[in-house]
């Protein structure tokens, strides 16, 4: 069936024919499609050389292959940073990381005075909608500015588990954006779809898991299927033909090359070269290719030029990709990239890079130069002979490279969310002298990942040795001391765990409060209440409002209900700590026997998710366990059971909820279930604390034989823990 010709298609083809007829003239008018919709699809962490239309045979991508036939293929497109937030910020602003301000995923934000595509297009009368699949691009980073709809409610649902990565399956993200798109698809719109496949961990959809040898490739196939669904949605709505569709990735993946398994540290081609397809309205220039190097910042200029967006800034050095495809050879320029990730996360030297059609220069403590044409795998460093390109690149980079700016302070929750995505940090305190070259220290990341994986998979003993090795090599790594502390705690070595946690305070800046609160929380956990109060007070003296919530729990543990209530109400006045403080207040009310009042207080926390037009807050650890306890005390066991199960659904590592469920099973007349629930608890959370609480639970409900059996099993795993030596 012949495809209908739209007015936009006619305009585009007319512009193209006009150019062909005047190709010998010095300049041609820009190729424009005023008012065309924009569809931007970003497949995170996708190497261009793992796609069939870039020459790869290890995976099949039928949806992307079909889009490629309708599009211009850019053979060599490069990112400005091997990290999600900086790269997307460059796409959305046309600026380099130092100019737009988002230089890393953690501790940086988009500068408020730098206009984004969404802001400009909204002012131009476009409906603007986006949906993301990872918290890295959350609206708080500035990336949500200008969007009428920005779906970023991606939150952790598990704790202490490697599989609890803070990301959303791409098909769910696509469906959310699709629902927004339906009523606006007939007009002018900007739709942004962000997929986190194939970012690590590589866990392809079942349909592709066994089909492809590489899990990374399986995730690429998963992303391809999701893109296919979205493009089909556009076609059914009649929006595909008339839209400017841009498909790209923000950065690549090292996949073990040069010693880096994922991305963030190095600036080699594998981390920077990305796929880039541009489908013009009416499929103008369909099937063509551009061999000249281009950069992700060009996307901003392309959109603003091609769609005629008023008020868009002209950015020196950027080009319109549509005009480049129409005109052939691109401008002579060198493409800049940087990563401050090695410095902000590990205390190593940051890196910067320039590349052109032939060479790449990487500025490091030991600079490197590669011939990308003769040596695409970058195995032969040419810098030793200091050839002419080396000197030329070095001089230019010296002029273009921006000074390092330290990241802003990051709260504990944000730090945990990024760590859950694999962006681990040693938290290395600043040292004297030159910073290490990442080439010499890259093995630290692999060892750190191994240690964390063992800790998260329930093998704290195995992780202890690895953390000890890391700290022997560099005892200034504050975050590793905290992880080491957690591992010590899980094997029942509480005193050593506290000493390790205190190291984080020693290694932090004098104004830092997060390490103090971390120590205070651990002190409360192991019963050292006075020490907890001291550290919470230090944090309070340094102006951290979160200290009031910790102090409320300190006072509650001392039995000072009036003081605990006052501190909790103070903490509830701060948005950052309000929900947690209300939970403490409810615990105070439970201690007073005011159960109905306590339940009403927890209703306030639960009800925060139900306000019309307000995004639901993330699940709060311990909330449903507390509600279960309240219902149990009110002699409402069925309601209590439901709350305990909801806590376990949200947080499978919750010991408190599983203990509550085991006890309430007796009340419900199912005593046989209790031993099974305790067994499930120690399997899900196989640490000393879990075993000790399991023993106590079984003893309390009268199953002494089950408690003794569990004690013998616990002693095999944790023979030195004094809590396991005898039954409660």
Domains and CATH numbers, the chain: 31-339 (3.40.720.10), 351-400 (no CATH), 426-507 (1.25.40.10), 509-618 (1.25.40.10), 623-728 (1.25.40.10)
Give the pLDDT score at 410.
Answer: 66
Q: Torsions phi, psi of 423, nearest 5?
A: -85, 70
Give the pLDDT score at 456.
Answer: 82
CB 89 within 8 A of CB 143: yes
For residue 19, pLDDT beyond 60: no
Percent of the residues in the chain that have a pLDDT greater than 90, as a whole number: 73
Q: Beta-carbon neighbour count of residue 184 at 10 Å?
A: 20
Which pTM was predicted?
0.81
Binning pLDDT at 50, 70 and 90, where does residue 644 land? Answer: very high
Any idea which of 154-158, 535-539, 606-610 has the lowest mean pLDDT?
154-158
Mean pLDDT of the chain: 89
Q: What is the DSSP letter of 382?
A: -
Give the pLDDT score at 717.
Answer: 86
Any idea which of 124-138, 332-346, 404-418 has the lowest mean pLDDT?
404-418
Helices H / strands E in the chain, number of each: 31, 15
For residue 374, pLDDT beyond 50: yes
For the segment 431-456, the average pLDDT, to the nearest whole number, is: 88
For the segment 509-519, the average pLDDT, to the nearest whole number, is: 89
Closest by Cα among 532, 468, 466, 465 to 500 = 468
For residue 22, pLDDT beyond 60: no
The 3 state secondary structure assigned to 541-563 is HCCCCHHHHHHHHHHHHCCCHHH
Give the pLDDT score at 44.
Answer: 97
Cβ within 8 Å of residue 432, ≥6 positions away = none
Higher local confidence (pLDDT), 719 or 166: 719
Among 161-170, 260-269, 603-612, 680-689, the range of highest mean pLDDT? 260-269
CB 181 within 8 A of CB 673: no
The residue written with tokens 């959809």 in the block is 205
Q: Regarding beta strands 38-43 and 244-248, do their DSSP bridges make them parallel or antiparallel, or are they unpaired?
A: parallel
For the segment 581-603, the average pLDDT, to the nearest whole number, is: 96
Give the pLDDT score at 20.
Answer: 34
Binning pLDDT at 50, 70 and 90, where does residue 416 land? Answer: low
CB 130 within 8 A of CB 192: yes
pLDDT digits (tens, 9 = 90+) for 542-585: 988 899 999 999 999 999 999 999 999 999 998 888 999 999 99
pLDDT digits (tens, 9 = 90+) for 385-400: 878 899 999 999 999 9
DSSP three-state, residue 630: helix
For the segment 678-693, the average pLDDT, to the nearest whole number, is: 89
For the segment 598-608, the average pLDDT, to the nearest whole number, is: 88
Give the pLDDT score at 409.
Answer: 65
Give the pLDDT score at 509.
Answer: 80
For residue 457, pLDDT beyond 90: no
For residue 693, pLDDT beyond 60: yes
Alpha helices (H) in 328-387, listed in sequence order? 341-346
Give the pLDDT score at 331.
Answer: 75
Q: Distance between CA atoms of 470 and 291, rounded to whole angstroms?
A: 45
Kindly state the helix (H) or strand (E) to which residue 192 belongs, with its residue range: strand 189-195
Give the pLDDT score at 417.
Answer: 59
Residues listed for the chain: 728
Give the pLDDT score at 407.
Answer: 81
Whole-angstrom distance between the N-terminal and C-terminal Cα of the chain? 79
The residue written with tokens 């052939």 in the block is 328
CB 590 within 8 A of CB 610: no
For residue 529, pLDDT beyond 50: yes
Q: Could you tell me the maximum CA-CA distance found in the chain, to the nearest angstrom?
A: 93
Where on the phi/psi map is residue 648: left (φ > 0), alpha (ψ -120 to 50), or beta? Answer: alpha
Q: What is the DSSP letter of 564?
A: H
Instruction: Look up residue 17 and give its two tokens.
Output: 């024919």
For residue 11, pLDDT beyond 50: no
Give the pLDDT score at 226.
Answer: 98
Give the pLDDT score at 602.
Answer: 95
Any idea which of 250-264, 272-286, 317-331 has the lowest mean pLDDT?
317-331
Give the pLDDT score at 327.
Answer: 82
Q: Residue 258 class from Cβ within 10 Å (0-12 exposed, 13-18 middle, 19+ buried)? A: middle
Closest by Cα among 305, 337, 329 to 318 = 305
Higher local confidence (pLDDT), 385 or 528: 528
Binning pLDDT at 50, 70 and 90, where does residue 511 land? Answer: confident
Give the pLDDT score at 507.
Answer: 87
Give the pLDDT score at 16.
Answer: 36
For residue 429, pLDDT beyond 60: no
For residue 613, pLDDT beyond 70: no
pLDDT digits (tens, 9 = 90+) for 299-315: 999 999 999 999 999 99
Give the pLDDT score at 223.
Answer: 98
Give the pLDDT score at 474.
Answer: 85
Distance of CA 487 to the CA centre of its chain: 24
pLDDT digits (tens, 9 = 90+) for 208-238: 999 999 999 999 999 999 999 999 999 999 9
């Amino acid at each position: 069936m012949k495809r209908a010709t739209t007015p936009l298609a006619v305009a585009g083809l007319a512009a193209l024919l006009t150019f062909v007829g005047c190709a010998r003239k010095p300049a041609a008018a820009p190729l424009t499609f005023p008012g065309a919709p924009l569809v931007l699809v970003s497949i995170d962490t996708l190497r261009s050389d793992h796609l069939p239309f870039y020459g790869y045979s290890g995976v099949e991508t039928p949806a992307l292959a079909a889009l490629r036939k309708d599009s211009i293929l850019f053979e060599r497109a490069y990112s400005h940073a091997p990290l999600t937030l900086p790269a997307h910020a460059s796409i959305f602003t046309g600026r380099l990381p130092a100019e737009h301000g988002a230089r890393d995923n953690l501790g940086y934000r988009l500068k408020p005075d730098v206009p984004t595509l969404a802001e400009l297009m909204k002012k131009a009368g476009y409906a603007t909608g986006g949906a993301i699949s990872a918290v890295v691009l959350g609206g708080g980073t500035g990336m949500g500015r200008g969007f009428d709809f920005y779906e970023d409610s991606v939150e952790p649902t598990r704790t202490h588990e490697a599989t609890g990565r803070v990301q959303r399956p791409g098909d769910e993200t696509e469906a959310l954006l699709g629902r927004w798109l339906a009523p606006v698809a007939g007009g002018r719109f900007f739709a942004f779809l962000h997929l986190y496949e194939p970012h690590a961990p590589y866990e392809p959809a079942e349909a592709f898991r066994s089909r492809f040898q590489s899990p990374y490739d399986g995730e690429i196939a998963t992303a391809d299927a999701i893109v296919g669904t979205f493009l089909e949605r556009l076609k059914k709505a009649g929006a595909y033909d008339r839209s400017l569709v841009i498909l790209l990735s923000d950065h690549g993946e090292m996949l073990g090359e040069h010693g880096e398994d994922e991305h963030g540290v190095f600036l080699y081609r594998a981390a920077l070269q990305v796929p880039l397809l541009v489908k013009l309205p009416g499929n103008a220039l369909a099937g063509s290719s551009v061999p000249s190097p281009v950069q992700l910042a060009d996307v901003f200029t392309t959109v603003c030029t091609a769609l005629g967006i008023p008020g868009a800034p002209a950015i020196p050095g950027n080009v319109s990709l549509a005009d480049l495809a129409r005109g052939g050879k691109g401008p002579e320029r060198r493409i800049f990239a940087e990563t401050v990730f090695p410095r902000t996360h590990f205390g190593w030297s940051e890196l910067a890079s320039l590349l052109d059609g032939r060479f790449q220069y990487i500025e490091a403590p030991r600079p490197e130069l590669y011939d990308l044409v003769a040596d695409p795998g970058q195995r032969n460093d040419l810098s030793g002979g200091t050839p002419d390109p080396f000197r030329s690149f070095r001089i230019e980079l010296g002029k273009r490279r921006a000074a390092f700016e330290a990241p802003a302070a990051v709260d504990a929750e944000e730090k945990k969310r990024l760590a859950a995505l694999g962006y681990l940090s040693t938290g290395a305190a600043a040292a004297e002298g030159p910073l290490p070259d990442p080439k010499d220290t890259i093995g630290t990341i692999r060892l750190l990942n191994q240690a964390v994986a063992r800790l998260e998979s329930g093998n704290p003993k195995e992780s202890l040795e690895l953390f000890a090795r890391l700290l022997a090599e560099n005892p200034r790594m504050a975050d590793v001391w905290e992880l080491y502390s957690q591992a010590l705690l899980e094997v029942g070595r509480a005193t050593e765990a506290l000493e390790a946690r205190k190291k984080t305070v020693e290694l932090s800046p004098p104004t830092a409060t997060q390490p103090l609160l971390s120590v205070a929380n651990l002190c409360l956990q192991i019963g050292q209440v006075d020490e907890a109060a001291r550290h919470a007070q230090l944090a309070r003296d340094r102006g951290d409002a979160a200290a009031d919530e910790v102090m409320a729990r300190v006072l509650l543990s001392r039995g000072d209900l009036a003081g605990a209530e006052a501190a909790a109400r103070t903490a509830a006045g701060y948005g950052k700590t309000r929900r947690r403080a209300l939970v403490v207040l409810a615990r105070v009310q439970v201690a007073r026997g005011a159960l109905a009042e306590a339940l009403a207080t927890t209703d306030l926390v639960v009800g925060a998710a139900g306000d019309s037009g307000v995004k639901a807050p993330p699940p709060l650890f311990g909330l449903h366990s507390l509600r279960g306890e309240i219902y149990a005390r009110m002699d409402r066991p069925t309601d209590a059971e439901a709350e305990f199960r909801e806590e376990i659904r949200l947080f499978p590592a919750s010991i408190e909820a599983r203990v509550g469920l085991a006890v309430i099973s007796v009340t419900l007349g199912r005593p046989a279930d209790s031993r099974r629930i305790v067994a499930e608890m120690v399997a899900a959370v196989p640490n000393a604390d879990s075993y000790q609480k399991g023993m106590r639970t079984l003893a309390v409900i009268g199953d002494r034989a089950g408690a003794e059996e569990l004690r013998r099993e616990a002693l095999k795993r944790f023979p030195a823990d004094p809590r396991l030596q005898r039954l409660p």
